[in-house]
Chains A and B, each alone.
Chain A
Amino acid sequence: MRTLLTMERIRNGEVLERRYDYSRSFVKGLMQLLYVTHAQIVQTSPYDAADITGSLRSIDSDGYYDTKGTLRVSSPSGLGGLFVPTGGYGGGTSDRAPSHYPQHYLPGHAIGIAVGVDATAPAPTDYAMRQAIFNGRGGAMAGGSIFDSYTVGDDTTPVSSYGADRYGGPLFVAVRGFRLSSVSLKMYRTGNPGTLTVSIRGLRPIGSTDWSAEQNAIVSGTTEGNTLTNVSPGEWREIVFPSSIDIYPGIPYCIDVRAPSGDASNLVAIRGKNNVSHSRYGYLLRNISNYYFNTSTVCMFEAKGSANPEFEYGACEIFGLSIVNPNGQFSIRRLFTNNSGEAVTVNECGIYAAATRYVAYYGSSQSYAHCIARDQVSPGVTVNPGEVLAVTYTPQITV
């Protein structure tokens, strides 16, 4: 099976530029999703695969219910939400009603055809666009811009980190996608907690109301905990990461702070504010075997970085099934409208497909987005303000 990739630049309904060539870049993610479906991986022994955030997700073909959205590629527009069935249930074991928790939804831009600006050649292990163009109408934002933050009114200390099994930090869900380069946290120390490791991690539900941080760090930086003030309410400390990462809007992340050398007398405390009940911010805490997830209280934080101009993502559609011996094909297409006010050069495109995890515990199943294709667009296609880029993948088989 080979796949024709067509890119058309359109203004006022007129095609200004059309390119087509065979896609060279289905990646390991496609093999992983085909493996999970063919092998019927069960939830008691799931398969780990990186999603578009870089978090390792445990995925399967299992479920209490038959409906399971693995390989979903069609999607609403970028602002829309996509419910991806996990096979899970939300009620207790007595009724097992189909569940519709937030973790079963994905933002429209996270499924279907995606585009980006990075010109790096594809690799089999690519798990996302190297530098995505996100959905929206915003222009570029320079490095050092603050994208998400909560910085005033701290009146509590929701997170204390020390040792191997007490850690956590701010939880946030971005509204605008951006390139994260550093975070700042308001912290103080007790004793000497040692070097702190600050990581960005995905989240995994462990019940209907509790979450934990995923097992791998997407990116990590360190800061010396022993130089923090030991006076509450603490000080702001910025942690710069060795490399920038894409933050996808609509997907929860945790700024996870760990003091592995610390103990109950040598710890780092993160400041927060009670009684906020924020729609997108909160905190996550692991305390030995207990996990706490809360948006009533918010940790103090800033997330800084930069952003590319945005495109408005249309719906991703599947159409055109054609069977004429010996050839068969269908098409996947998405329109991207540049209302950012700036020209954007697209150097990469690809396809994101859904995968899911079923957990036989109410609310714990989850839906994810995985990259199954990433192509280098060379030379890049420059989409000017007001223009539309149509990207079409046409898988073809010939017997």
Chain B
Amino acid sequence: MDHDITSNMNNEPFQPDKKLEIPGKVEAIIELVVTRQDGTVRERRAKKSESFVRQFLDLLIVQMENIPFIQPLDVCDTGNVIRQIAFGKTTLAANAPTGDATFGIVSGTGNTAPTLTDYALQTQIAHGNGAGQLQYGNVAFGLPASDETTSSFTITRNFANASGNPITVNEIGLYVKAQESRYDTGARQTRYFMTIRDVLVGGIAVPNGETLTVNYRFQCVV
């Protein structure tokens, strides 16, 4: 059976209809929406992300210290390989285009609880329209905004199910880039690192033909 998937792959971040405010913290709020083919919302959830992982601290130090390529920092990439990372213009890049599942918001089916030293999703869902695959849209960003107490910006990605069967997404993560350098030439190579991993209790079902929109909202509250 062919499925006519109509999905806006050039997605825009949606505005949350409620806030989860935790004064004093830098948080990521994860919001999930499953949208039917006709555009109506089947399911919507929001929860506080519990799981910045160690690579987030590592890459913050890389930039805050301007760690140079002559004395790089060891950081574990999504392939469980230790990379020697220096500061640069690409650090923390999450602006993945359509179809690129190596960085940006990523989805998976693993449900093992997160740990600080997680370096990748347990079982990432691949991009595509084959069995068990989702179509990764481009990553979009909402501009920084603030009100009387809260500052935030958003990162959003659509995952469209054209696989022919329902897929239950159990884990969501954020993969970002950073540069590994060679001392002899200074040449740089892009590597990928996970900074956030969340496990969704009970998962969220994405029926065939429907689209999961994932919104990470970084926020801080005074």
Residues of A whose CB lies within 8 Å of any CB of B are 1-3, 22-28, 30-32, 34-35, 37-40, 47, 49, 61-63, 66-74, 84-85, 87, 121-125, 318, 321, 323, 325-330, 332, 353, 395, 397-399
Contact = CB atoms under 8 A, between A and B. Distances in A.
Given A38-B176, A124-B148, A87 B153 contact: no
B193 interface: no
A243 to B, nearest CB: 21
A304 B148 CA distance: 33
10 contacts: A28-B144, A31-B153, A31-B219, A68-B88, A69-B66, A121-B222, A323-B57, A397-B116, A399-B52, A399-B115
Contacts of B91: 37, 70
A124 B64 contact: no
Nearest to A318: B65
Contact of B64 (A22, A327, A332): A332
Given A325-B116, A397-B52, A31 B151 contact: yes
Contacts of B144: 28, 31-32, 35, 49
Contact of B63 (A66, A70, A325): A70
A72 B87 CA distance: 9
B57 A328 contact: yes
Contact of A27 (B23, B58, B151): B151
Interface string B136-148: 0000010110111
Contacts of A22: 24
Contact of B61 (A1, A84, A318, A326): A318
Contacts of A330: 57, 60-61
A35 B116 CA distance: 23
B63 A328 contact: no
Given A23-B24, A26-B220, A327-B116, A353 B92 contact: no
Contacts of A323: 54, 57, 116-117
A38 B94 contact: yes
Among A1, A22, A49, the most chain B Cβ lie within 10 Å of the Cβ of A1
A27 B60 CA distance: 16
Q: Which 7 A-B pairs have the closest CB atoms?
A: A68-B89, A28-B151, A71-B63, A26-B220, A124-B146, A24-B24, A37-B92
Contact of B114 (A3, A32, A35, A399): A399
A32 B145 CA distance: 9
B19 interface: no
Given A61-B89, A328-B57, A395-B26, 20 more contacts: A1-B25, A3-B24, A27-B220, A31-B152, A31-B220, A35-B153, A38-B92, A40-B90, A49-B144, A66-B89, A66-B179, A68-B87, A68-B88, A68-B89, A69-B66, A71-B60, A71-B63, A323-B117, A397-B52, A399-B116
